Amino acid sequence: MSEQTLSNLMHEDRRFEPPADLAENANVKAEAYDRADADREAFWAEAAERLDWGRKWDQVLDWSNPPFAKWFVGGTLNAAVNCVDRHVEAGRGDKVALHWVGEPIHDGVADTRDITYAQLKDEVSKAANALTELGVQKGDRVAIYMPMIPEVVVAMLACARLGAPHTVVFGGFSADALASRITDCEAHVVITSDGGYRRGAASALKPAVDEAVEKTGDLVRNVLVVRRTGQDVDWHGREEGGRDVWWHDVVDNASTDHEPEMHDSEHPLYVMYTSGTTGKPKGILHTTGGYLAGTSYTHWSVFDLKPETDVYWCTADVGWVTGHSYMVYGPLANGATQVMYEGTPEKGRWWQIVQDYKVTIFYTAPTAIRTFMKQGREIPDGYDMSSLRLLGSVGEPINPEAYIWYREVIGGGRCPVVDTWWQTETGQIMISPLPGVTAGKPGSAMKALPGISADVVDDEARSVGNGNGGYLVLREPWPAMLRTLWGDDQRFKDTYWSRWPGLYFAGDGAKLDEDGDIWLLGRVDDVMNVSGHRLSTTEIESALVSHPKVAEAAVVGAADDTTGQAVCAFVILRDSAGDGGEDIVEELRKHVAKEIGAIAKPRQIMVVPELPKTRSGKIMRRLLKDVAEHREVGDVTTLADSTVMDLIKSKETSAPAED
């Protein structure tokens, strides 16, 4: 028997055809695949025509020095002009760009603001003038550490307008994390706010900035502070030789006239830090022309955006790449009207917002969907969500059961679900159904988008072919790809391009089913080896979640004397299942054996109240492995809630099963 790179275990026969009217009026039809295959560069050039250019490019792609790509070589453009000014000039200034919804509710009334494209243009111009006054010049880096308020979008676009690359640091990160990012990209200006609202309370941001600035010596010249909560802040104003400047002092009074410069297509747009396997975070560099073409095209095609009628909502925080590509740059370049929400998904609040703003396109993460599944469908069932016509998922594999729940309960059975695979590094969606073309399979991201070349290969970089599992790779450059790691070309090559010459290796395992559709199987670092079979965490987790009592599951491989590694599972039960009953562990083990076979039957299952997740919702399996192997639990500083591991350890009583 030839050893498979990754076993192909699960079978799924459900299919969902696109709704007929959506298919008929879809922005992108099936012919796009052939057209892109016939001439990839011409295809992306057409996507770039969606943008306004100062000077048109001379060459679509320069790939003469791989892995360093240049797209739309010789072209010039301004990202902020493409996201804002051009819509105003085209007569759409009164169209709402952002329906912003604040978290606090006062006397039953939410704190909201509607911002039109014309208003956004004025705000971005004023902020660009204010930043210039603070000495920010083209090429300077600006760090942004803010809550989900409109000013964060204004700040990003003002930087883009000036050609000053921004680095947005998620507001939930610590002062240390902020300091290391400020240092790595040598930012002289930080934009922040006094605080933001989280779970009903004002939570401070400025003290973390003060601490971070302190740690970075003389690097930071100015801290520009938006007043959001009105809470007390330690203030060191310019009058007393300090760095702090209020946003309302310098932005509100600035001129709304700002002449934008056209920047080179390859001018840096932003740096987004993402954690690596070694301690030092990687500064993913995205540049202007290719990134904007890639995000604008994919936002329009994957979400079938009709800018005149759709109300789009991506729930991601702006501190993650999803917030950059699919809340700021893609949707605004497309002139979309969208919702932006300040808070966290407390019970019915999201659905209230969908109902109030008649949201038509909704994009969120599987971790949120599974949390809602756990709470039960009664909550979303209490709202009118008939406006929805399309649902998206991103961040992790969506288990078939969560997909079906999302489709049925949130989408009323009408809406296609697009499971979109991509990464901070890829900048744009790479693998996804096209909603007017693809008959979706629950749990599969389906195919590479037109113009994208993805494959699944074995250890020798040979395509595994249909029906087999292996490593997900990308064969051809794409417009929004990262250009390098900030200040570290060598690490860029080593991290992504060294495993097999000429192939970008994404770090994910995947399988091709009998039709050649792609199923993501999780990070290859998480793959388990049980009696010589390589098993993916995703498939076993999906089998567990398909049991009616289970809301969420995480699986790790723990050292085992007989089988090398053994499957250990951690499960969260649905609220409706209570404590699951006495035989829950045996019931679930049998269920996995039935769904995918005895080889995948967990040796041990722990019912837990929570799972350890990063702030972007990814399960930290490394910590669960420590529990499964009875070790001291490792570094928990990147957990969203660091007390979760204590809860899990206190549950560590269930004895290993016999067989």
Choose between 302 and 340: whose C-beta lies nearer to ligand WT7: 302
User: Considering the rule CB under 6 A, would residue 585 count as an interface residue with ligand WT7?
Assistant: no
The DSSP bridge partners found for residue 106 are: 109
Q: Return the structure tokens found at 339.
A: 């919702």
User: Considering the rule CB under 6 A, would residue 274 count as an interface residue with ligand WT7?
Assistant: yes
In a 3-state reduction of DSSP, which class is residue 285?
strand
What character string, x for contact with ligand WT7 (CB under 6 A) and - otherwise, covers 108-127? --------------------
Name the E strands within 527-608. Answer: 528-530, 533-535, 550-560, 564-573, 604-607
In the complex, least distance from residue 421 CB atom to ligand WT7, rounded to whole angstroms = 4
In the complex, least distance from residue 351 CB atom to ligand WT7, rounded to whole angstroms = 23
Q: How far apart are CA 426 and CA 479, in angstroms?
A: 9
| Orientation of helix 40-48 relative to helix 289-302, angle to 10° | 90
Choose between 61 and 506: whose C-beta lies nearer to ligand WT7: 506
Choose between 51 and 365: whose C-beta lies nearer to ligand WT7: 365
Q: Give one DSSP letter per residue of 234-268, joined into a string.
A: ---BGGGT--EEEHHHHTTTS-S---PPPEETTSE
Strands 268-274 and 282-287: antiparallel
Strands 390-393 and 361-364: parallel
In a 3-state reduction of DSSP, which class is residue 328?
helix
CB atoms within 10 A of CB 190: 27
- Judged by CB under 6 A, which of 128, 158, 321, 368 binds ligand WT7? 321
Q: Which of 271, 286, 290, 272 shows the shortest CA–CA distance to 63?
A: 290
The DSSP bridge partners found for residue 607 are: 571
Binding segment toward ligand WT7, per CB under 6 A, in 45-53, 125-133, 391-399, 591-599? 391-399
In the complex, least distance from residue 619 CB atom to ligand WT7, rounded to whole angstroms = 11
- Judged by CB under 6 A, which of 93, 150, 196, 395 binds ligand WT7? 395
User: Considering the rule CB under 6 A, would residue 423 count as an interface residue with ligand WT7?
Assistant: yes
- Judged by CB under 6 A, which of 130, 445, 449, 584 binds ligand WT7? 445
Rounded (10°) CA dihedral 506, 507, 512, 518: -60
In the complex, least distance from residue 564 CB atom to ligand WT7, rounded to whole angstroms = 24
Choose between 289 and 433: whose C-beta lies nearer to ligand WT7: 433
Choose between 140 and 419: whose C-beta lies nearer to ligand WT7: 419
**Which amino acid, residue 299?**
H
Q: How many residues does the chain have?
A: 659
Choose between 118 and 544: whose C-beta lies nearer to ligand WT7: 544
- Judged by CB under 6 A, which of 396, 476, 517, 526 binds ligand WT7? 396
- Residues 463-522 contacting ligand WT7, CB under 6 A: 506-508, 520
- Residues 523-552 contacting ligand WT7, CB under 6 A: 523
- Contacts with ligand WT7: how many residues (CB under 6 A)? 20
Choose between 518 and 588: whose C-beta lies nearer to ligand WT7: 518
User: Considering the rule CB under 6 A, would residue 144 count as an interface residue with ligand WT7?
Assistant: no
Q: How far apart are CA 93 and CA 73, in angstroms?
A: 31
Q: How far apart are CA 419 and CA 363, in angstroms?
A: 10
In the complex, least distance from residue 82 CB atom to ligand WT7, rounded to whole angstroms = 22
- Judged by CB under 6 A, which of 71, 351, 421, 486 binds ligand WT7? 421
CB atoms within 10 A of CB 199: 9
What character string, x for contact with ligand WT7 (CB under 6 A) and - otherwise, covers 607-626? ---------x----------
Q: How far apart are CA 426 and CA 294, in angstroms?
A: 10
Choose between 5 and 322: whose C-beta lies nearer to ligand WT7: 322
- Judged by CB under 6 A, which of 424, 438, 536, 546 binds ligand WT7? 424
The label of the residue with tokens 């329009």 reads 300
In the complex, least distance from residue 76 CB atom to ligand WT7, rounded to whole angstroms = 28
User: Is the CB of residue 318 less than 8 Å from the CB of residue 168?
Assistant: yes
- Judged by CB under 6 A, which of 82, 116, 129, 322 binds ligand WT7? 322
- Judged by CB under 6 A, which of 18, 397, 451, 477 binds ligand WT7? 397
CB atoms within 10 A of CB 553: 27
Buried b (16+ CB within 10 A) or exposed e, 134-157: bebeeebbbbbbbbbbbbbbbbbb
Choose between 152 and 321: whose C-beta lies nearer to ligand WT7: 321
Residues that bind ligand WT7 (CB under 6 A): 274, 321-322, 394-397, 419-424, 445, 506-508, 520, 523, 616
